[in-house]
Amino acid sequence: MKTLIPLLFVAAAAAQPVTIAHRGASGYVPEHTREAKVMAHAMGAEFIEQDVVLSKDDVPVVLHDIHLDTTSDVATRFPDRKRADGRYYALDFTLAELRQLSMHERMDHKTGKQAYPKRFPATTGGFRILTLDEELELIAGLNHSTGRVAGIYPEIKQPAWHRQEGHDISPIVLSVLAKHGYTSKEHACYLQCFELDEVKRLRTELGWRGRLIFLMGGKTKADLAEVAKIADGIGPAISSIVSGTTVTDLTSRAHALGLDVHPYTLRVDDLPKGISTPEELMRLLFDEAKVDALFTDFPDVTVNWLKKANTP
């Protein structure tokens, strides 16, 4: 199912900060599963994130990592398919093989323990992987049936690594976005990537005309003026904006160049050092730093805080 009409870009007209469901409602249901995305939509998230990697047969699938072993039963189902480094890579499996996997709550690769112990039990659920095409159909269907537009927020994962492996992920992702009607800045879509060279390539060589975000790691140094020439915003780590209980000047510098600021990631069960409640962190981010959006594993927490904050 394609979108029947172009999705108007809702955030620009809202004039209020928005909630981005980080990998869906991943604080409650295993990340990037169909159930996590449905829950995020029902909780009122304005945008829902899709991390995208390729299968062996060049199908874009929604998965946070190029690796499979931390969020699936791949080691049990395909024990002989690991690489020399002991890891299992999505790129080594066809879509038909990926569909055989059972996805689960994230595990720590080194310890084998559940990354967030209080979240969905890792040994249950029987969740399945989604293709990007399937997820965009799902969100379009929910937008249609509920009458509420939730935008999408795909991230192209490790494009340079994909090319080294002989697969060019970016044009494949752009073709799927175009199929579903996401082609311009009027549409409810942000495209994001950590690699600045690929952000430049998306805008120039590949001709992406939609909204574009350059993701920045906690210690990433970037020339914001250079970023502003090609991107619509930055996605920095929260630690780049809030240090202890002090707000840095990153947001104000970005805003001065016309860049939006969408930091990641609010986790109720993993707050930054010196922050005692998610409400305290959101006050610093939204009220003091004036960020434009926030990635969160707990969409309901952020949606509800923003509703209260914006209620006269």
Q: Is pTM beyond 0.75 here?
A: yes
pLDDT reported for residue 11: 44
CA-only gyration radius of the chain, Å: 19
Ranges of residues in the chain whose predicted pLDDT is under 70 = 1-15, 218-220
pLDDT reported for residue 124: 84
pLDDT reported for residue 2: 44
39: left (phi over 0), alpha (psi -120 to 50) or beta: alpha
The rounded Cα 52 to chain-centroid distance in angstroms is 9
The Cβ of residue 252 has, within 10 Å, a number of other Cβ atoms equal to: 12
pLDDT reported for residue 220: 63
Active site residues: 22, 64
pLDDT reported for residue 219: 61
* Averaged confidence pLDDT in the chain: 94
pLDDT reported for residue 125: 80
Under a CB-based contact definition with an 8 Å cutoff, are residues 155 and 146 in contact? no
pLDDT reported for residue 10: 47
Alpha helices in the chain (DSSP H): 10-14, 34-42, 74-77, 95-98, 132-146, 159-164, 169-179, 196-203, 224-228, 250-256, 278-282, 299-309
**CATH class of the domain defined by 10-66+130-309:** alpha beta
Task: Read off the tokens for 135.
Answer: 């997820």
